[in-house]
Amino acid sequence: MTARKFPALDAFRLAAAVLVVTIHTSPLGGFAPLADLWLTRVLARVAVPFFLMVSGYFLARGGWRLGAFCRRTALVYLAAAALYLPLNLYAGMGPARWLRALVWDGTFYHLWYFPALLWGVPAARALARLGPRAGLAVAGALYLFGLGGDSWFGLADRLGPLHAAYAAVFRLVEYTRNGLFYAPLFLLLGAAAVGKETRIPPRAAAAGLALGLAAMTAEAFWLHALGAPRHDSMYLFLPLCMVCLFALLLRANGGRLRAARDASLLLYLLHPGCIVAVRGLARAAGLWDLLVANSLGHFAAVLALSALAAAALLRLRPLRRDPHARAWRELDAAALRHNAQVLRQAAGPGCALMAVVKADAYGHGARQVCRILQRAGVRDYAVACLAEGVALRRAGVRGRILVLGWTDPAQAPLLARWRLTQAVAGLEHGRALAAQGVPLQVQLALDTGMHRLGVPAGDRAALAELYALPGLRVTGVFSHLCVSDSLAPADAAYTRRQAESFAAAVAWLRQNGYDPGRVHLLASYGIWNWPGYAFDCVRAGIALYGVRSTAAPTRRTLDLRPVLAVRARVALVRTLAPGESAGYGLAFTAARPTRLAVLAIGYADGIPRCLAENGGHVLLHGVACPLAGRPCMDQLLADVTAVPDAAAGDVVTLIGRDGAAALPAEQVAAQCGTIANELLARLGARLPVLVLKNAENH
C-alpha cells in the first residue's frame, strides 16, 4: 500500500521556522533548563540545515542555475537588513562594523543565514563539479574544521596548529557557521538526494534519525558539561540526523504548499523584531512577568505576534495568476530530453547537437526549452535575431548562441556585450560588421543554392576577404539545404549538389590555411534524410520538438516524441434547440438538440480561424468534439453533445494527447493548409508555458 503523499517539505519549513523561534526565546528555560537545552540546542539545530538541504535539492534539480536564486536571496537579505537597521543604529553599530556584518555574519543575529547561503551556494556548486563523492568529502572536511570552531572549540583550540588557524578565521568572521565551513555540506547533501528520493528505506531512515538524535543529544550535553562550545550550531552527528530526516520528508513529499513556504520565511525574518515589540509592549502594559519573565509565555507571545505579522503581510502580497485558469501550453520535459538524445545518436559520433530555438522555440517557450536542454548537456543554440539571443542571455542561457538571421551592423556592440555569435549574411554585411570596430565572433553563411542569405560558396575571393577583416573571428561555417525534405529524384540531386558545393568550400578553406571552425549543414530534415552530411554538428529545429513539418515520408524513422500540448478551459456549456444559431454571423445552426461549449481560447492565441471551417475539432475527456461556427479572438465554440458530462472548468486539448486520443500538430496544420512549423510558431505569447517534468505525451 502506497503511503499518502502531502507537501512534506513545505510543511516542515514552517515547523523549522518555529524551531528557530524557540532558539531565540528558550520556552522551557524558566521551568526545565535541561529540557530547554535539548529543545533549543539539539532538536532545533536541525532547522537551518534543513533549509540549506532544501535549497541544495532544488538547485541541483534545476541544474544549479545560481543567478536567479542568488539575486532573490540577496534581495530578501537586503530588505531584512534595512528592516533591522534602526535596531542596529540604536545598538550603536557603526558603518564599518555594519558593512562587515553585511558581508559575513549578518547585520542582526538571525540574518547570518543569508550571507552563509550566498557564500555557500557558489562554494557548493564548485565542489559539485568535482563529483558527488569528492565534493562531499571536501565539504565534510570543511565542516569538521568548522565543528572545531563551534561546539567542539574548547577541545580543538587546545591544539597549537588549530589554535592559530581558528584565531585567523575569527579575525575575519565571528563564527564558523558560515558559507565556507557549514553551508556547503548541507547544500551538497540536499543535492545528493536528487533522483535518489527512495534510496533509504523509511524504517532505516527513521531508525537512523532516532539514533542520530540520541547521539547528538549525548554529544551536546557532554560538550556543554565541559564548557567546550564557542557556539552550538554544529555537531558531529548532525549530518547523520539531517540525511535521515530529509529522506523521510522526501518519501512523504508530494505537491507544493506555497502558503507554508512564504509563512516560514516571514516567521524567520520577523520574529526578532517581534521579540523587541513584545518586550516593549510588556513593559508598557505592566505584563513583564507574564510575557517576558515567564519563558513559555514569552515564546507564545513572540510566536503569536510573528504569526499575526506574517499573516498580515501575506494578505498584502500580490496574487499570482493561475496559469491553468484559461489556456496554456504544456511542455513535456522528459520528451524533450529524449528527443535531444535521439538526435545526438542519429547525428553520429563526434557530431554535436545545436538546438534551434527561434520563434520562441517554435512556440514551445525558448526560455523553458533552453533550461531543460542545458541540464541535458546541450551547449549550442540558434536563434533568428539579436533580440531572441539577448532574451536567452537574460534568462541565464549559457553556451554558444548563433544568430542565424541578419543583424544591423550598428547593433554590433550588443552582439559583443551579450556574447552572441553572428551569421555573416554576405560580403557587404561582413564589411559593415567589421567597420564597427567591435571584436565579434561570427560564422559564415554560405549560399549553396537556396539563394537566401549567405556568401556564394564558390566565391573564394569573398571568403578570403572575410577572414582578413579586422575584428571578426570566424568560429564556424554553415549552409542550408532548401529541398532536403523531399525525396523526389530531382530534389535529391539538388540536395547532393548543395552538399558537394558546401564540402568543396570547406575543403578550400582548410587547404588555404583558413580555420572553418564548427562546420554544419543539416537541419531537421537533413538529419532525417541525409545523415551522411552531418559534419561537426546538426541544427535541430522542428525535429527537436517531436514534430514533422508535413506528413511527407522520410528516409529513416527516428523515435521522436511530441513535446507540446495546447489546452484550454471550458468557460460554460449551453444547450441549443434545433434551428437555433450561435456565433458571429450565426454561422452555426443546430440541426438537433446540441450542447455547445465555449472554450477560453481564440485566434489571438494562435489558433487559426480556418480550423473550424476545415473540420477542426478538440478533445474533451478523450472524445473528439467538432468546432462550431466562426472562431473569435478570445473564444471558440465546440459541439460537445457527445460528452454528456461536459461542464464549465473542464480541460480541452487542441494539440496533443488526451488519454488514448491525440491531435498531432501535423494534423491540425494540414487541416489549415499550412505546415506544423507555422502553426506552432504562431502560438500566442499570452499562453503561459507549463513544464511537465516527469510525464511524456506519447
At 344, which amino acid appears?
Answer: R
Which residue is associated with the grid cell 513556504? 261
Between CA 601 and CA 592 the distance in angstroms is 26
Rounded to 10°, the helix 33-41/202-226 angle is: 120
b or e along 188-221 (b: 16 or more beta carbons within 10 Å of the residue's beta carbon)? bbbbbbeeeeeebeeeebbebbeebbebbbebbe
Residue 225, burial from CB neighbour count under 10 angstroms (0-12, 13-18, 19+): exposed
- Residue 254's SS3 state is coil
Half-sphere exposure of 668 (CA within 13 A, CB side): 30
Q: Are 464 and 508 in contact (CB under 8 A)?
A: no
Tell me the pairing of strands 588-589 and 581-582: antiparallel
Nearest to 262 by CA among 625, 11, 511: 11
- Is 5 catalytic? The answer is no
- Residue 216's SS3 state is helix
Residues 5, 196, 584, 693: which is the catalytic one?
Answer: 584
Length of the chain counted residue by residue: 698
Nearest to 654 by CA among 687, 685, 629: 687
Q: Residue 169 has what DSSP assignment?
A: H
DSSP lists the bridge partners of residue 401 as 381
Between CA 168 and CA 456 the distance in angstroms is 66
CA angle 308, 118, 62 (to 5 degrees): 90
Between CA 496 and CA 84 the distance in angstroms is 71
- Is 77 catalytic? The answer is no
Between CA 152 and CA 150 the distance in angstroms is 6
Between CA 162 and CA 34 the distance in angstroms is 31
Between CA 272 and CA 270 the distance in angstroms is 6
Nearest to 474 by CA among 507, 505, 441: 441
Nearest to 642 by CA among 616, 618, 672: 618
- Residue 197's SS3 state is coil
DSSP lists the bridge partners of residue 520 as 478, 537
Nearest to 265 by CA among 8, 23, 6, 10: 10
Q: CA dist 128 to 66, 121, 184, 191, 288, Å?
A: 13, 10, 10, 9, 51
Tell me the CA end-to-end span of the chain in Å, nearest whole number. 28
Between CA 393 and CA 415 the distance in angstroms is 11
Q: Measure CA 199 to chain center.
A: 24
Torsion of CA 228, 233, 237, 238, to 10 degrees: 170
At 105, which amino acid appears?
Answer: D
Residues 358, 381, 533, 545: which is the catalytic one?
Answer: 358
**Backbone phi, psi, residue 530, to 5°:** -135, 55
Q: Are 687 and 656 in contact (CB under 8 A)?
A: no
Q: Are 268 and 309 in contact (CB under 8 A)?
A: no
Q: Are 565 and 657 in contact (CB under 8 A)?
A: yes
Q: How many CB atoms lie within 10 A of CB 386?
A: 20
Cell of 283: 513593559
Between CA 673 and CA 614 the distance in angstroms is 9
Q: Are 455 and 424 in contact (CB under 8 A)?
A: yes
DSSP lists the bridge partners of residue 421 as 402, 441
Active-site amino acid positions: 358, 584
